[in-house]
């Protein structure tokens, strides 16, 4: 007789309300929970590194995970911050190839881990779940295309404004003025400029009252002002007296 979800681990009840698994019937959910394990990672701990085999899927229960890549010269680029309720590790899981990035605990976090050997037979019997993963891959591709567009077509203020708006929206509750954990060095690695350039622009917005700078975190106070910067044409932002351009 199959064990109930609560008998396996009460914290795995996150799967009941997760948008990926909410449509599963009770039997399928119970089966999935038997495959899932629960792991905690301290801030800065490695979840996996680029080149590792893609043998598991991850669901963020709490906290955030940083996805990044590094060059042989030591330069780093942060590709994404994955937060509560999001899934990651699906690309290598589905194609069976190596991990394409490093995953590091951005904060103390709790993750559900599902092994590939269990997940593949399961998803073959759940066509609705398989379609959700197709939609996830499409969303990842659209997001990547948008990031490339921002880097190529937008200047620093617009790229930075887009990033801050996105980071604020990803942290719950998304209340105006609630700080989210991110360092200026990490922001620089997300938008592709130096920490010094980021600091100068952030201080300009802080003086205007658009954001509040705190040690290791930032609070967005005027999201509409940042949205206007994000949507403006670069020529508009090149007026005399406007913040830093790079």
CATH number for position 74: 2.60.120.10
pLDDT at 48: 96
**Strand ranges (DSSP E) for 5-126?**
36-41, 46-48, 56-62, 64-70, 76-83, 87-88, 102-105, 109-115
Do 10 and 124 lie in one domain? The reply is yes
Do 230 and 159 lie in one domain? The reply is yes
Do 110 and 181 lie in one domain? The reply is no
pLDDT at 27: 86
pLDDT at 35: 87
Do 80 and 174 lie in one domain? The reply is no
Q: How many domains does the chain have?
A: 2
Of 225, 75, 239, the closest CA to residue 155 belongs to 239
Do 55 and 113 lie in one domain? The reply is yes
Do 164 and 118 lie in one domain? The reply is no
Joined tokens for residue 54: 């893609």
Instruction: Note whether residue 244 is domain-resident.
Output: no
Joined tokens for residue 168: 């604020």
Range of the domain at 45: 5-143
Do 119 and 10 lie in one domain? The reply is yes
Do 40 and 129 lie in one domain? The reply is yes
Do 40 and 80 lie in one domain? The reply is yes
- What does the alpha-carbon distance between residue 8 and residue 59 come to, in Å, rounded to a whole number? 17
CATH number at residue 212: 1.10.10.10
Do 87 and 180 lie in one domain? The reply is no
* pLDDT tens digits for range 62-99: 899 999 999 888 788 999 999 988 899 998 888 889 99
Do 105 and 193 lie in one domain? The reply is no
Do 169 and 231 lie in one domain? The reply is yes
Instruction: Note whether residue 246 is domain-resident.
Output: no
Domain boundary among 143, 170, 202: 143
Q: What is the pLDDT along the chain (246 residues), one digit of tens a residue?
A: 344 444 445 555 777 777 788 888 888 888 888 888 889 999 999 999 999 999 999 999 889 999 999 988 878 899 999 998 889 999 888 888 999 999 999 999 999 999 999 998 898 888 888 888 888 889 888 888 887 877 777 889 999 999 999 888 876 555 667 888 899 999 999 998 899 999 999 999 999 999 999 999 999 999 999 999 998 766 444 443 444 333
What is the pTM assigned to this prediction? Answer: 0.78
Instruction: Note whether residue 12 is domain-resident.
Output: yes
């Amino acid at each position: 007789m199959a064990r109930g979800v609560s008998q396996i681990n009460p914290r795995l009840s996150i799967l009941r309300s997760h948008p990926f698994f909410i449509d599963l019937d009770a039997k399928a959910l119970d089966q999935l929970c038997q495959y899932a394990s629960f792991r905690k990672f301290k801030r800065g701990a490695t979840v996996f590194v680029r080149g590792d085999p893609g043998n598991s899927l991850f669901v963020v229960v709490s906290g955030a995970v940083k996805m990044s890549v590094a060059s042989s010269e030591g330069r780093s680029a942060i590709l994404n911050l994955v937060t509560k309720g999001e899934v990651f590790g699906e690309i290598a899981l589905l194609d069976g190839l190596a991990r394409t990035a490093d995953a590091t605990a951005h904060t103390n976090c709790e993750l559900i881990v599902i092994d590939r050997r269990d997940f593949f037979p399961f998803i073959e019997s759940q066509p609705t779940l398989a379609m959700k993963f197709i939609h996830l891959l499409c969303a990842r591709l659209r997001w990547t295309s948008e990031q490339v567009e921002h880097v190529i077509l937008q200047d620093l203020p617009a790229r930075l404004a887009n990033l801050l708006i996105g980071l604020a929206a990803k942290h719950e509750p998304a209340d105006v003025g609630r700080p989210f954990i991110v360092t200026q060095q990490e922001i620089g690695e997300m938008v592709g400029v130096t920490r010094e350039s980021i600091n100068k622009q952030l201080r300009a917005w802080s003086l205007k009252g658009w954001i509040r700078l705190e040690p290791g975190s930032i609070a967005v106070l005027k999201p509409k002002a940042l949205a206007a910067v994000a949507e403006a044409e670069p020529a508009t932002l090149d007026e005399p007296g406007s913040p830093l351009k790079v």
